[in-house]
Structure 1
């Protein structure tokens, strides 16, 4: 066997050893948005990653997460973030390095000069007055929630390629509009009005920021 052939065989052997098998290949991470169930690949559809200040919250330090910003609003000295993403899978044997989509409505984080607080977005969106009060206690009042939802929809419209593409993806996701929280449904309806107006509809569109949440604009 000549030297040239030996080199070719060695190169091929090394290549086979270094190429991961299909079984070991790292699977692509999948996530979804927190409200409409729109699935997407974070490597292709880009949302802003949650800033370091978000992870100062005690509850978020306890678990490993990959979070993206879906809504942001500043009121006085407090910055509110609506974040959602992936959480590390826990099989009871320590860190796994495997991440899966959160199975909730996301998290609203209130970052102030004196510290950070967080609450599940489901509390802010809940029709239950007790749950709403818990959200309001950390500053997520109706006006803050309305601003966060407006920003969330604006970010998703941009990320998914425009109003029509976004609305198509909402429809494809298959969540009945009637099952959405009233605040979210109102914002979505306003967006559809805007889209209709641009196509030549005669109705006057209602800006997203003017849609009331629990009576508050």
Structure 2
């Protein structure tokens, strides 16, 4: 007997929803259009939140109130790389999440996620930074160096999704495909436009999502 979805999937954008998740391929159908797109099928529920703190915070709260049966949430999408060892197209598993532009917010460790996924997922571990603005070369080298000391990849949703999960006693998992270089010591390898490789990164993340779902189910 199915008493509701056990696994939630959270994406920020339509690109991530279609290229990584493709709800229909996972047996889900759309059940809500507003205030957020929600899909459901079997033991899965998926939401597209939109970007930035307010959307991510409200979105995860709505999803977990809508489906109190959810035990694990996978936040999957694309992110920019601050680490020269993470090439465009690589897929990483977050070991921590932190806000880089909200003072007083502490780093959230994702030990529960690593305990479930680390041995079987074979993903690079990374520290994810989340902010309400795009980070690019225009921020200047000093600011980028500060961020590099704090994390490896940067997005606009993960930290707030993780905080919402922790509030509800749900295990968050954060998986990001690297879409672009935000900074690289070799100028020839700098990529400053988010969208150039986003589709590539999203497609690379798609098979990882399927594998993680299977691991959580076991």
Give the alignment's TM-score, normalised by structure 1: 0.24
Q: Which has the higher strand share?
A: 2
Q: Name the structure, 1 or 2, with higher relative contact order (CA <8 Å, separation 6+).
A: 2
* Structure with greater Cα Rg: 1
Give the alignment's TM-score, normalised by structure 2: 0.24
